[in-house]
Structure 1
Amino acid sequence: MKHTAITLPLAGLLASQVLALEPLTPEKIEADVKSEELSNNLWDLDRIGAANNGTRAFGLPGYLASVEYVLNRTRVPEFDVHVQAFNHTFAQVRSISVTGPDGEDVAAVPLIYNPGTEAAGISAPLVDTPVDDERGSACFEDQWTSTDATDKLALVKRGGCAISDKLKLAKAHGALGVILYNNVEGTPSSATLGAENIGLLVPVGTIQQDIGEAWSARLAAGEQLTASLTVDAEFDTRETWNVLAETKAGDPSNVIMLGAHLDSVQAGPGINDDGSGTSALLELATAFRAYDGFANKVRFAWWGAEESGLIGSLYYTSQLTEEEADHVRFYFNYDMIGSPTPQFAVYTGDNEGDLAGAQPLKDYLVAAGRDAYFGSFGSSSDYVGFLELGIPSSGIFTGAGAPTDPCYHLACDTVSNVNVEALTTNTKAAAVVAARMALSLEGVPPRTKTSLNPRDKSHIQAQFSKWKMAAEHALLEKSCSHGEKTTV
Structure 2
Amino acid sequence: MRPSLILALASQVVAAGIQLPLVLPSTSSPAESSASKALVTSEALQGDIDVKNLLERANHLYELAKLSEGEYSHPTRVIGSKGHIATIDYIYSTIASLGDYYTITNQTFDAVVGNVFESRLVLDGQVPKSASAMSLTPPTYKKQPESGPLVLVENDGCEQVDYPANVHGSIALIRRGTCTFGDKSALAGKAGAVAAVIYNSGEGSLSGTLGVPSQYHIATFGLSSEESGPYIEQLKSGKTVSASAYIDSIVEKIETVNIIAQTNGGDSENCVMLGAHSDSVAEGPGINDDGSGSLTLLEVATQLTKYGVNNCVRFGWWAGEEEGLLGSDYYVAMLSQEENAKIRLFMDYDMLASPNYANQVYDATNEANPTGSQELRDLYIEYYLSNDQNYTLIPFDGRSDYDAFIKHGIPGGGIAAGAEGVKTKEEAEMFGGTAGEWFDPCYHQLCDTVDNLNLKAWELNSKLVAHSVASFATSFKGFPERSTMQSEAHMAVSNWHGPKLVM
Q: TM-score range by the shorter chain?
A: 0.7 to 0.9
Note if contact 1:346-1:372 (Cα within 8 Å) is conserved in structure 2. Answer: no
Unaligned runs of 5+ in 2: 12-19, 423-438, 492-496, 498-503
Counterpart in the other structure of 1:17: 29
Aligned counterpart in structure 2 of residue 116 of structure 1, from 123, 136, 139:
139
Aligned counterpart in structure 1 of residue 414 of structure 2, from 385, 395, 398:
395
Counterpart in the other structure of 2:82: 61
Deviation per CA, 1:34-77, whole angstroms, max 9, x where unpaired? 33332333333333223313321112222101101212322111
Counterpart in the other structure of 1:405: 440
- State the SS of the aligned residue for 2:279: coil
Residue 347 of structure 1 deviates from its aligned partner by: 4.3
Unaligned runs of 5+ in 1: 131-136, 457-462, 464-488
Q: Which moved more, 1:382-391 or 1:170-179?
A: 170-179
Q: Within 5 Å, which residues of 2 pair with 1:13-412?
A: 14=25, 17-18=29-30, 21-52=37-68, 53=72, 54-75=75-96, 76-77=98-99, 78-99=101-122, 101-102=124-125, 109-119=132-142, 120-127=144-151, 138=156, 149=167, 151-155=169-173, 162-168=180-186, 170-171=188-189, 175-179=193-197, 191-195=208-212, 197-206=213-222, 213-214=226-227, 216-217=229-230, 220=233, 225-292=241-308, 294-343=309-358, 344-349=360-365, 350-403=369-422, 404-412=439-447
Aligned counterpart in structure 2 of residue 421 of structure 1, from 439, 456, 462:
456
Q: Within 5 Å, which residues of 2 pair with 1:393-472?
A: 393-403=412-422, 404-449=439-484, 451-453=486-488
Residue 360 of structure 1 deviates from its aligned partner by: 0.9
- State the SS of the aligned residue for 2:5: coil
Letter in 2 for 1:113: L
Counterpart in the other structure of 2:430: none
Note if contact 2:318-2:328 (Cα within 8 Å) is conserved in structure 1. Answer: yes
In 2 relative to 1, CA 104–328 (structure 1 residues): closer, same or farther, beyond 3 Å? closer
Deviation per CA, 1:330-387, whole angstroms, max 9, x where unpaired? 1101122333333412341432211332211111123334432444432232112221
- Cα distance in 1 for partners of 2:111, 2:468 equals 34
- State the SS of the aligned residue for 2:141: coil
In 2 relative to 1, CA 328–40 (structure 1 residues): closer, same or farther, beyond 3 Å? same
Letter in 2 for 1:17: S
Letter in 1 for 2:119: I
- Cα distance in 1 for partners of 2:53, 2:465 equals 16
Note if contact 2:186-2:217 (Cα within 8 Å) is conserved in structure 1. Answer: yes
Counterpart in the other structure of 1:6: 5
Letter in 2 for 1:83: N
Letter in 1 for 2:337: E
- State the SS of the aligned residue for 1:291: coil
Note if contact 1:97-1:107 (Cα within 8 Å) is conserved in structure 2. Answer: no
In 2 relative to 1, CA 374–121 (structure 1 residues): closer, same or farther, beyond 3 Å? same
Letter in 2 for 1:257: M
Letter in 2 for 1:193: L
The alignment's C-alpha RMSD in Å is 3.6
- Cα distance in 2 for partners of 1:279, 1:124 equals 50
Identical amino acids, percent of aligned pairs: 30
- Cα distance in 1 for partners of 2:278, 2:111 equals 16
Q: Which moved more, 1:344-353 or 1:149-158?
A: 149-158
Residue 450 of structure 1 deviates from its aligned partner by: 5.4
In 2 relative to 1, CA 121–411 (structure 1 residues): closer, same or farther, beyond 3 Å? same
In 2 relative to 1, CA 336–162 (structure 1 residues): closer, same or farther, beyond 3 Å? farther
Residue 123 of structure 1 deviates from its aligned partner by: 1.6
Note if contact 2:419-2:443 (Cα within 8 Å) is conserved in structure 1. Answer: yes
- Cα distance in 1 for partners of 2:166, 2:457 equals 50
In 2 relative to 1, CA 277–170 (structure 1 residues): closer, same or farther, beyond 3 Å? same
Residue 26 of structure 1 deviates from its aligned partner by: 0.3
Note if contact 2:409-2:487 (Cα within 8 Å) is conserved in structure 1. Answer: yes
In 2 relative to 1, CA 338–127 (structure 1 residues): closer, same or farther, beyond 3 Å? farther
Deviation per CA, 1:439-473, whole angstroms, max 9, x where unpaired? 111122332225232789xxxxxx9xxxxxxxxxx
Letter in 1 for 2:482: R
Letter in 2 for 1:192: T
- Cα distance in 2 for partners of 1:248, 1:151 equals 61
- Cα distance in 2 for partners of 1:375, 1:17 equals 41
In 2 relative to 1, CA 140–27 (structure 1 residues): closer, same or farther, beyond 3 Å? same
- Cα distance in 1 for partners of 2:241, 2:132 equals 21
Letter in 1 for 2:141: E
Residue 249 of structure 1 deviates from its aligned partner by: 2.1
Q: Which moved more, 1:378-387 or 1:171-180?
A: 171-180
Letter in 2 for 1:258: L
- Cα distance in 1 for partners of 2:390, 2:370 equals 24
Q: Which moved more, 1:172-181 or 1:348-357?
A: 172-181
In 2 relative to 1, CA 451–24 (structure 1 residues): closer, same or farther, beyond 3 Å? same
Residue 219 of structure 1 deviates from its aligned partner by: 6.3
- Cα distance in 1 for partners of 2:387, 2:175 equals 41
Q: Which moved more, 1:87-96 or 1:103-112?
A: 103-112
Counterpart in the other structure of 1:473: none
Note if contact 1:365-1:371 (Cα within 8 Å) is conserved in structure 2. Answer: yes
